[in-house]
Structure 1
């Protein structure tokens, strides 16, 4: 997540500093299907990482150690990350 996101951010900053033609090329590339796929993948990785961190935070405070509860949350986190990613991109595309 950090490597791909960092490369995209540095590329955007370089295109911004290089002038209007370079920026227009970068925006055209970023809004292509491959660019959208990368950005959707990055946002999914962000939400997955964030939710896993919250789950571990709850475990660190001493809750959620029951096997059924722990299994339920570990199975629910990928679904929640997909739902949050879909919600984010629905807002981006339709708002």
Structure 2
């Protein structure tokens, strides 16, 4: 038999955002999770696209009208940003898994690089889309 008592023990408290000083790697960690959830929602949009396409011309026209609205374009811009951010941060994690870039200076620099890449790639895609008439 065990000598353990059944009395509840005090559990350690998790660190809260009020305890930790904000830094860029904390931001990128949170954004990685948020963009992952956003990409799941984007998968639902892609599924709705496929369903509307299979449902006929009228349903597809309605779908295009919704995504072509200002709110729809805003959502698509956010999805593009999420995609590029999640991609770049995933590559960053692969580099970390290989044992590189784990010191504070390198981690902060790679975090800034990920944010800059995501923003630049998103803007480039949307500018190209605008120039080709896709918007």
Query: Normalising by structure 1, what TM-score?
Result: 0.88
Given that 2:81 and 2:118 are in contact with CA atoms closer than 8 Å, whether structure 1 keeps it comes out as yes
Number of aligned positions between the proteins = 95
Match of 1:75 in 2: 112
Q: Distance in 1 between matches of 2:40 and 2:93?
A: 23
CA distance, structure 2, for counterparts of residue 30 and residue 81 of structure 1: 22
More helix by share: 1
The question of 1:35 aligning with 2:34 is answered no
TM-score normalised over the length of structure 2: 0.65
Distance in 1 of aligned mates of 2:100 and 2:40: 33
- Deviation of 1:76 (Å): 2.5
User: Given the alignment of the two structures, is residue 50 of structure 1 paired with residue 87 of structure 2, yes or no?
Assistant: yes
Q: Which structure has the larger Rg over C-alpha atoms?
A: 2
Structure 2 gaps, min length 5:
1-37
Residue 75 of structure 1 and its aligned partner are, at CA, apart by: 2.3
- Structure 1 runs (4+) deviating above 2 angstroms are none
Deviations 1:59-89 (A, max 9, x none): 1112112321211111231122111100111
CA distance in 2, matches of 1:79, 1:25: 35
- CA distance in structure 2 between the partners assigned to 1:93 and 1:13 by the alignment: 24
The corresponding residue for 2:51 is 14
Q: CA deviation at 1:23?
A: 1.1
Q: Deviations over 1:30-51 (max 9, x none)?
A: 1111111111111111111111
